[in-house]
Amino acid sequence: MTPSGNGYDIYDLYDLGEFDQKGSRSTKWGSKAELQSLASSARNLGIGIYWDAVLNHKAGADYTERFPAVKVDPKDRSVEISAVKEIEGWVGFSFPGRDSLHSPMKYSWHHFSGVDWDEARKKNAIYKVASKRWSDDVAHEKGNYDYLMFADLDYSNLEVQKDVLRWGEWIGSQLPLRGMRLDASKHYSADFQKKFVNHVRATVGPQLSFVAEYWSGDVRVLTHYLQNMDHQLSLFDAPLVGRFSRFSRTGGADLRKIFNDTLVENKPAHAITLVMNHDTQPGQSLEAPIASFFTPLAYALILLRDKGQPCIFYGDLYGIRRGVKNPMTPSCGRKLPVLARARKLYAYGEQCDYFDQANCIGFVRYGNLHHPSGLACIMSNAGASQKRMYVGRSHAKEQWTDILGWHPRTVIIDKKGYGIFPVYEMQVSVWVNSAAEGRESLRESFEEGIYED
């Protein structure tokens, strides 16, 4: 909505930095032409672009309207706590800068189910439009978690559905998208989300991927949502993020149980694994602090294993220095780029787990025909340790070293295909044949100086 906004205060879905609206033509990130140029360059480099679709609400209305509403209990939105009264809400969207280009739709109070501000009384509360019901197919937190913020879109309204479905088709014609992230998916109709996903795939392309940001620490809630969505998308593994945070701050936590009750354990084909994101970083609403020693262990667990689709946090890779109260430096002792490259080079083939000690676990990837090197990973959240692990007879007599450079030993693979792999206390080591293809690329410097003028 505002030139400095990050996009979650969404005003006009159809304005990508093209129209003079709300005090600016460009968004915080630039103009539509610059966005299209960026997307084209990314495609030429083989980088896929995902659109962060904010479809739950609208903000920055052009004018107010009066309509009947009731207050609801903020702790249980299913409970009305006032009589019906007329309020004045910011719900009129005419998009004067765009007029009817791209879409003729104008929004009024009929298209929303609730707001959080009565302009007439200058009062903040959660107001439900009196003639409306909250969506049933949303999260059950706070009684009913349909309402999140701003003017809440009513997806039982067919005009709203039609306009947002039109937008999904339109955005796919404007940018070469690889997929979409559905923001705040637990706050609006899952039935509509399913319709939206199917429509966009039918009109833009069946290859589009979708990931929903349904933040819940209860894996049962996530699997239920996936069932409602006919398993047509993936989800961020919020339970895994919570376990990483708790395990990192619990002395002697049993690493053998690190994946218990996570999405990657229950629905691996639909799990986006992660360690941290913009909502869980320090100072944010869903802050999930993780001890610094544990961050490389966590990244090894999502990047090098055979289940889940890993997502690296920008702040862990580059650090975050500007415009934040809690600056971050690149995590993992600046070894995260090495772990990411190791995934591309060596994390292939069958996997064998050595989850046989509470505070020291390991696993082996055996490689495949086109990537035969394989790897052995060992980690400890307590004292120094070692494990005898089988990497394959084909590797006999090879010399394996830690690609992270954190352990100086050289491991000689014996004639039976076993090696004894060590790890220092509260560390992770990733062992690969010192002569493996691509080892030299792991020593290349990573350009992280993006904050330098």
Residue 347 in this model has a pLDDT that exceeds 60: yes
Residue 1 in this model has a pLDDT that exceeds 80: no
**Residue 448 placed within a domain:** no
Both tokens of 277, joined, read 């994101």
**Residue 9 placed within a domain:** no
**Residue 13 placed within a domain:** no
Judge whether 86 counts as a catalytic residue: no
Residues 151 and 165 both lie in one domain? no
Q: Identify the CATH number of the domain in which residue 298 sits.
A: 3.20.20.80
Residues 48 and 62 both lie in one domain? no
CB 365, CB 304: distance < 8 Å: yes
**Residue 452 placed within a domain:** no
Residues 173 and 278 both lie in one domain? yes
**Residue 42 placed within a domain:** yes
Q: For residue 367, what pLDDT band results from cuts at 50, 70 and 90?
A: very high
Residue 453 in this model has a pLDDT that exceeds 60: no
What share of the chain has pLDDT > 70, as a percent? 99
Mean pLDDT estimate for the chain: 96
Half-sphere exposure of 127 (CA within 13 A, CB side): 29
CB 90, CB 151: distance < 8 Å: yes
Residues 359 and 432 both lie in one domain? yes
Residues 191 and 249 both lie in one domain? yes
Judge whether 213 counts as a catalytic residue: yes
**Owning domain of residue 79:** 58-156
Residues 262 and 335 both lie in one domain? yes
Q: Identify the CATH number of the domain in which residue 66 sits.
A: 2.40.30.140
Residues 165 and 235 both lie in one domain? yes
For 437, other C-beta atoms within 10 Å of its C-beta total 12
Among 139, 156, 173, the domain boundary falls at: 156
Residues 230 and 320 both lie in one domain? yes
Q: pLDDT tens for residues 295-326? A: 999 999 999 999 999 999 999 999 988 777 87
Q: pLDDT tens for residues 382-412? A: 999 999 999 999 999 999 999 999 999 999 9
End-to-end CA distance of the chain: 28
Which burial class, exposed, middle or buried, applies to 397 when counting CB atoms under 10 A from its CB (0-12, 13-18, 19+)?
Answer: exposed
The total number of structural domains in the chain stands at: 3
Catalytic residue among 152, 163, 183, 398: 183
**Residue 257 placed within a domain:** yes
Q: Which residue has the tokens 């039935």?
A: 191
Residues 202 and 289 both lie in one domain? yes
Q: Identify the CATH number of the domain in which residue 389 sits.
A: 2.60.40.1180
Among 99, 127, 156, the domain boundary falls at: 156
Q: How far apart are CA 83 and CA 91, in angstroms?
A: 21
**What is the predicted pLDDT for the residue at 452?**
64
Among 343, 358, 383, the domain boundary falls at: 343
Collapsing DSSP states into helix, strand and coil, what is residue 442? helix
Catalytic residue among 15, 152, 154, 213: 213
**Residue 103 placed within a domain:** yes
* SS percent in the chain: helix, strand, coil, step 5: 25, 25, 45
Residues 145 and 271 both lie in one domain? no
Residues 321 and 356 both lie in one domain? no
Residue 181 in this model has a pLDDT that exceeds 70: yes
Angle (CA) 298-53-171 rounded to 5° is 130
Residues 309 and 419 both lie in one domain? no
**Residue 323 placed within a domain:** yes
- Averaged pLDDT, 65-77: 99
